Amino acid sequence: VQLQASGGGLVQPGGSLRLSCAASGSILRVNVMGWYRQAPGKQRELVARITSGFSTNYADSVKGRFTISRDNTKNTVYLQMNSLKPEDTAVYYCNADVAPLSTRLYIDVWGQGTQVTVSS
């Protein structure tokens, strides 16, 4: 089981980016999916997460600007980021609780990270 993230890049302040992260492998089900970020010299922090029932929560710093969503048929989570600020610059990691077919027990899986840089 693995997570593959994509969609990062360089954007000007006020711009938008959309991140995607797909879970692949022999998967029974996926529970909570989320996005975290880590800026240089800082700890990794939660950005947003969404349950399989589409309940969401967000870090205060991104409320009203970022939207998390998911497609359960594709085991994919998205992060729409609008009104980006320089302080949003970080490596963004996707995370999911995944139950593989082989064990049927949830495991915590991380994607490889994608760089988001907000700069003029």
Which residues of the chain have a pLDDT value below 50? none
HEC string for the chain: CEEEEECCEEECCCCCEEEEEEEECCEEEEEEEEEEEECCCCCCEEEEEECCCCCEEECHHHCCCEEEEEECCCCEEEEEECCCCHHHCEEEEEEEEEEECCCCCCEEEECCCEEEEECC
Determine the pLDDT at residue 56: 98
What are the pLDDT digits (tens) for 81-103? 999 999 999 999 999 999 998 88
